[in-house]
Amino acid sequence: MATETIELPVIGMTCAACQHHVEATLLAAPGVQSARVDLMRHRARVEFDGSAASPAALVEAIRQSGYDAVVPRSDGNLHGSSDHPRADTGAGLKAGLTIAAGILAMVAAMPLGSAETMGPWDLWLMRLMPWLYAIPLSWLRWGLLIVTALLAVWAGAPIYRSAWKALWHGETNMNTLVSLGTGVAFVYSVWGTIVGGRGEVYFDSVLLILGFLLLGKWLEGRARHAALAAVDALAQLLPAKVRVRREVGEVLIPLDDVRVGDLVVILPGERMPVDGVIESGRTTVDESMLTGESVPLERGIGERVLAGSLNYDGAVAARVEQAGEGTTLRQIARLVEQAQGSRAPMERLADRASAVFVPVVLGLAVLTFVGWLVLAHDLTQAVAATVSVLVIACPCAMGLAVPAALTVAIGRGAQMGVLIKGGEALERVAGLQAVVMDKTGTLTEGKPALVGITVLPGFAEEGLLRMAAAAEDHSAHPLAHAVVDAARARGLTWGTALDVQVMPGRGLSATVEGKAILLGNEALMREWSIPFPGEVHANADAGLTRLWMAFDGRLVGCLDAKDVLRPTATAAMAWLRAAGLTVEMLTGDSARAAEPIAAALGIAAVSSGLMPGDKVSRIRAMQAEGIKVAMVGDGINDAAALAQADAGMAMGTGAALAQEAGDVLLMQSDPRGICTAIGLARATVVVMRQNLGWAVGYNVVGIPLAAGLLWPAFHVMLTPWMAAGAMAFSSVSVLLNSLRLRSWRGPELAG
């Protein structure tokens, strides 16, 4: 079985009920394994068995459910702004004209009321426009009928078509409620026009309901576009044309034609089109849109540049390492889009409610009509209350409450160099109680330097360093880099090590110049039963990390390296403690190397000399006590601990973005990113709860108010056009509240 994944743009969804119907349809389709419909982006992400289903079959299934879909383009480009649902300027124009016509219709309908219902406004209008009251009532009624019918067909056609399609397929959505509400009001008004006489007509309500709905959709479209702006910004970071150096000189070619190994030329003021290594020139670059680092960075020969970064002041030529979908920028964009389309646990409440929302509202509308007719014997009020109930109900607000906040927050995090992998990860990060972290590369710079070599009698210092460099030459560990860099600084050369075997958390073994080499910590030596001579002290000086070395089962010396704290680590640890989090260090280094670092950071709990499995055990022990714990590490040696933790945070620059094991990727190797991720997650959960509270509360309060339950006691009742305005405002307010996260500044760290 070949599992395939596809994202299908879905056309015609208007509310959470639509989202639920499309999702249910896809899940019922043959060969579909999972389906997730994103109301914010109007897309469906489907995993299916390629031998049992096809993209065309999935599109057809969506069409059969009353909606439309298209097979996405296959050019591999970043999804630009044209792919996202935008505010339609035509909808804005229709909304404005329809609302204006509704207001005029309201004024024109005032003479149609009965003498008993005339109030101060009617008397004022009669004095202001006596000619209006001189027009025969039948002319006014028929004129309003014609204008309303024409505008309803012109402006409301998409609404009625959507409702009809849903009805044809045995479904209901928000457009069903609006269509029924305006339909009941229009039919009642037509009947009143035909029979003549004085009495209420609701032509103005029909126009205002449609106008407010269109206005709400237009504002909602603008807010959606703003919420999705982070990915739009990423999409615009790449140039369309690239300057490539060929044998005939420099030529401009399309970005999609660039291949790995090409030599591209980037002039000052241009964006880097690829990930590559500079071969000539020197410049400063701005990587803030990728990593959140606002300070320009110097880049010269041999240094790496990332696609999308801005070249400030120097012309450089870079050899392409990654192009197209392989660039860090494309990986970030994919991760952000997938995360924004994920579903948070908090959304389940809205999902359950949206599945039954519209049928329940239809039932309440029927009860409202019958109640007014039976108890009050008032057909006019029965119609008005029924229409108000139908149009005030808003499933959109519930459907957008969580995904709107999630979309904005993940986009904002990406702008700050923090990639959160979806709604579930975000909620876990928000609920953390403890943070445990590795030392090297997380709290320290991760670039230890060799500061001393101790050699036992009978061995030479340079010989020991040469053989250690041969063993460590292909290792990615920071201590390995320290050994190799020190050997190169002395001008040493070495051959190729054989049978290299890395033992995570301890060291490595290899064969170098015919000798069996062991290089690692004290635990590795004791594991291999390597004796320590009496004149050798096993403990390094405080703050030093010691690598022991043995030849053919005999200890020959050790190499001492020292790392330094990251400049922001102290302030970050202080913020975490102030935020109520327990902070603990887990490291494979010795206690003598770890404790000075922990003391400088104010970390009281330190577990040293740990192997990767020990870190996992410590996290499990904390979880057994009911503690929600995050693990922060480099994403390689700490992969198992990152996976075990309630939330794993992987430090790094994004070079191996797709392979990271964490729930959160910190593009800058900066401890401040931990604080940013936790602070943003907590702020987002607050906004989610506010949105859900508003959406549920709006409907709980609005529907009874529209039904007239307060009328007997307080004579308070919403008119249909007031209900329409409230409905339009409800979903827009949820989006506007979510957009506050776009300006979230991050935690303030002392110092």
Q: DSSP string spanning 365-423?
A: HHHHHHHIIIII--HHHHHHHHHHHHHH--HHHHHHHHHHHHHHHHHHHHHTTEEE--H
**Whole-number Å distance between alpha carbons of 391 and 721:** 9
- Between CA 105 and CA 128 the distance in angstroms is 16
Contacts of 740 (CB under 8 A, 6+ apart): 687
Those residues with Cβ within 8 angstroms of residue 473's Cβ, 6 or more apart along the chain or in another chain:
480, 484, 494, 496, 497
3-state secondary structure of 207: helix
From the candidates 438, 560, 634, 646, which is the catalytic residue?
438
Residue 715 per-residue DSSP state: -
Q: Tell me the residue length of the chain.
A: 751
Q: How many other CB atoms are found less than 10 A from the CB of residue 271?
A: 18
Question: Which H or E run contains 323?
Answer: none
Q: Is 204 a catalytic residue?
A: no
Q: Scanning the structure block, which residue is given the tokens 């409702």?
A: 163
C-alpha torsion 576→578→582→585, nearest 10? 50
Contacts of 413 (CB under 8 A, 6+ apart): 419, 420, 676, 677, 680
Helix (H, G, I), strand (E, B) or coil at 284: strand
Tokens linked to 89:
């300027």
Phi-psi region of 78 (alpha: psi -120 to 50; beta: other; left: phi over 0): beta
Rounded CA gap, 432 and 647, in Å? 8
Residue 212, CA distances (Å) to 92, 262, 730 in order: 10, 55, 11
Q: Mention every residue, 6+ apart, whose C-beta is less than 8 A from residue 367.
A: none
Tokens of 55: 């993209």
Q: Give me the phi and psi of 237, to 5 degrees please.
A: -85, -15
The answer to whether residues 387 and 205 touch, using CB atoms and an 8 Å cutoff, is yes
HEC readout, 593-652: HHHHHHHHHCCCEEECCCCHHHHHHHHHHHHHCCCCEEEEECCCCCHHHHHHCCEEEEEC
> What count of other Cβ atoms lies within 10 Å of the Cβ of residue 718?
23
C-alpha angle 340-342-346 in degrees, rounded to nearest 5: 110
The catalytic residues are 438
